[in-house]
Amino acid sequence: MAKIIPFKAVRPTRDKVSLVASRSYQSYTQAEREARLDYNPYSFLHIVNPGYKYDKEISGKERYQLVKNRYSEFKEDNVFIQDDLASFYIYKIVDRDRQVFNGIVAAASVEDYKNDIIKKHEDTIETREIIFKDYLKTVGFNAEPVLLTYPDNESLTEIINNVQKERAEFEFTTTYRDTHYLWKIDTKDELNAIIQAFAQMQTLYIADGHHRSSSSLLLQDDLKSKTSKPTGNETYNYFMSFLIPESELKLHEFNRLIKDLNGLTKEEFLIQLDAMYRIENRGLMPYKPSKKHHFSMYLDSEFYSLYLRKPNYKFKTSLDKLDAQLLYKTILKPILGIDDLRSNNRIDYLSGKRDIVNLKSKVDSGEFKVGFGMIPATIDQMKAIADDGLKMPPKSTYIEPKLRSGVTIYEF
């Protein structure tokens, strides 16, 4: 039984939400960040990059404390105001391609994550978990919800549709031409209906935010040990989430870029590749695969198609059927010598949402020697891997929607 509860969000005022909301810090180029920090005093980037005020790069615990200070200043200046009543928040995004995402911002249970009611499909890195836990503990808030997905549910769809007939609390369009809407639900009947709908679900799945989820578990353990008489209702027992029906989740692939051929010549590399794949030279025309277990490859100014020789590969588990794992087990590790995908600096990743020409450009620049493209994983593959207790390789999926930071904030 999944436990989802309302919470009192800290939110920007209606007149400033479009100025506050930001993408994740890492998604901006340095020039983009500096422009926003120079000309927009309300950007959430001022909070997460507090050293900009002093023209200094600040890291570690010193940065965490300054983040907390900047956040307090935004509250003192009434840029942020906390809701009086615990609420659910209906969130809608219409992106530039007219793709529509509808979901519910709520607090999800850390215990559900711990007990595998909220299932994961990716490994996490312990050092990153600890860093983010320490960050959360110091700043006392989280501004980026974990993306969870649930089976399509008629009662939740009806609630969402009815709420959206009213005027939205927030409506703003970004420079990316995505339009964001937010409605607040705080009436008892509607709150209970949402709680009960999720209580009938056996499982939820993490789509994006594995490190945020695991860090919340570490934070719970830390803060619970310092609470004299814990009740189970403390805010640290939950983490902010955006819950979206499976049918509206959009999965893209991550293409792979490799810096060298592991000491092989082009001809030696192709000969080794031939053992597992039927190779066809596609020439200069950009090529993108259309089937599972097929890959595109860009090498030495030419595109190739790679078709798996299926008798030579055994599909023993749900993970073995994942193309990102297949590429790793048949090419990246045995031929190109990339064993640890998390730490090897010879590999990089490019979101498949970008055109295959971007992969070509990266290789043509000389930064990389070869690039591989694939088709996206499916939601059923992601769930099967999670259900089997297995973990995808890093950067197996690029998942949408991507929410803006600073629109709803969860305080501990």
pLDDT of 58-76, one tens digit each?
888 999 999 999 999 999 9
One domain, residues 51 and 195: yes
pTM over 0.85: yes
Let me know: does 313 contact 306? Beta carbons within 8 Å: no
Q: Taking the mean position of all CA atoms in its chain, how far away is CA 321?
A: 22
**What pLDDT was estimated at residue 247?**
96
Determine, yes or no, domain membership for 391.
no
One domain, residues 70 and 204: yes
Let me know: does 148 contact 108? Beta carbons within 8 Å: yes
In 83-212, at which residue ranges do the beta strands (DSSP E only) sit? Answer: 88-94, 100-109, 118-119, 141-142, 146-150, 170-173, 179-185, 204-208
Determine, yes or no, domain membership for 316.
yes
One domain, residues 202 and 275: no
Determine, yes or no, domain membership for 394.
no
Burial class (CB in 10 A: 0-12, 13-18, 19+), 210: buried
Residues 3, 146, 343: CA angle, nearest 5 degrees: 130
One domain, residues 216 and 92: yes
Domain residue limits at 347: 254-375
Determine, yes or no, domain membership for 29.
yes
**What pLDDT was estimated at residue 175?**
87
SS3 63: helix
| Residues of the chain where predicted confidence (pLDDT) is lower than 50 | none
One domain, residues 232 and 264: no
One domain, residues 278 and 207: no
One domain, residues 196 and 328: no
Determine, yes or no, domain membership for 388.
no
How confident is the prediction for the chain on average, in pLDDT?
95
345 secondary structure, DSSP code: T
Q: Which helix H or strand E contains 384, and what residues bound it?
A: helix 379-387
Let me know: does 169 contact 177? Beta carbons within 8 Å: no
**What pLDDT was estimated at residue 83?**
98
One domain, residues 269 and 363: yes
Q: Give DSSP secondary structure letters for 170-195.
A: EEEE-TTS-EEEEEEE--HHHHHHHH
**What pLDDT was estimated at residue 114?**
96
Token output for 352: 């498949």
CA-to-CA distance for 2 and 117, rounded, in angstroms?
Answer: 7
- Domain count for the chain, please give it: 2
